[in-house]
Chain A
Amino acid sequence: MVAKQRTRPIRVLIAKPGLDGHDRGAKIVARALRDAGMEVIYAGLRQTPEEIVRAALEEDVDLIGLSILSGAHMALFPRVLKLLKAEKASRIPVFAGGIIPDEDATRLRHLGIRAIFGPGTSLEEIVRTAEKLARAPP
């Protein structure tokens, strides 16, 4: 089999819902994804789920990455998934990073968050997973 050459860059939205004001982690991930050849739309801090979904649709992204440290993930992530579904855009994969307890992670995966990265995850693994998710058939 011939390796399929990708002719267009993956577009990914990186957003930070919730009220905490630290986006160092999200920025580092954004840069790593750029260095892997992706076009990263960086939406910045304190985005509401509505704003995130709107940005994802306008920017026609292949993938959404959410970062959160404030502990509001159980309220905000499902809301993003629900809004995507309402827009018939559930095929856009969503991954998440931040401090998320195991029980919550299990529940979020069940709801449809495709990958969850804890604080210790290597950038390499995040990039690899992001590529796989963006390329997976809907």
Chain B
Amino acid sequence: MTGQRTTLPPAARAIVRGDRRALARAITAVENGAPEADLLLRSTYSRTGRVPIIGFAGPLGVGKSSLLSALVTQLRAAGTTVGVIAIDPSSPFSGGSVLGDRIRFERRADDTGVFFRSMASRGASGGVAAATRDVARLMDAAGFGVILVETVGSGQVDVAIREIASTRVVVLVPHLGDEVQTLKAGLFEIADIFCVNKSDLPGSETAERYLSELAGLGPGPDGWRARVVRTSATVPSGIPGLWSAIEEHERFVAGSDVHRQAERRRLSDEIVGRVRDELTRELTLRLEAEAELRRLVDQVVARKLDPRSAADRLVAEERR
């Protein structure tokens, strides 16, 4: 069922009302793929979709969190409420993670206009994108005016930003080596805005020029030419310029047919993906319970039949 405004379940009503604990618990449920998450996401979907999601990706330590903190200060001064999602990779060995982005955040013990949540990527790269999208939807339903997402730009994790952000900021620092690495990692194609942070350090003009030349090679497939801005998160300086560039891109997106198409595409993919997952699960259970599968496996084990032909027989069986 779609969410009718009058039939919100209590936990969803609490989120929409601005109950921060309810939001925090709902995010946990989404991260864990818990059944409660499903109901919440269904019932609040109709209230989502209008909030800008600004993604920040870039190499380790370039100042993404510091930049977000400075942006939040500016946004709060303008009265805008902000949800922040900071993603760090999980260890492939232990599955654990140290989530340290909160450290750089200016202290706001009593400002309820900001909600900050750290998230571990938990392995699968497709998984983190889906979880981030759903967490962003919950923050959207809770009424935050803008959502900022931070990820380390390491190919695996930045899909979250690739797939869900409406504006994508790639953060770099003034050393050519880093930029080249970042471009290799494929971040260049996703950048709507390049942000040369730590511009209080020497070399930022060179980096800006270099990136401007690259961006000047031509607009992307959507017709947007990447902007280059210089900032220093710690001074701070250049923050209003960064925000103007983001707003400019948001306005561009709002009027762009390419982006409307991309949004349709993403939602279509989401639906198809869900159907596929559900049917795959069902089919797997059914096949594994079948005596015919066991007979075929016996033959394959004995090298009397090859796996492809065995699969063909089961497909033919399914289609009958």
Contacts and interface: CB of A to CB of B under 8 A. Distances in A.
A44 B109 contact: no
Count class of interface residues, chain B: 20 to 34
Contacts of A35: 91, 93-94, 96
A40 B32 contact: no
A115 interface: no
A35 B25 CA distance: 25
B214 interface: no
A34 B97 contact: yes
Contact of A59 (B96, B107, B117): B117
Contact of A54 (B90, B95, B109): B109
Contacts, number: 76
A37 interface: yes
A33 to B, nearest CB: 7
B95 A43 contact: no
Interface string A27-41: 000110111111111
Contacts of B117: 58-59
Contacts of B100: 42, 44
Given A50-B109, A58-B117, A59-B117, A37 B25 contact: no
A38 B95 CA distance: 7
Contact of A9 (B93, B103, B118, B120): B120
A34 B96 contact: yes
A57 B24 CA distance: 7
Interface of A: 7-9, 11, 30-31, 33-45, 48, 50-51, 54-55, 57-60, 87
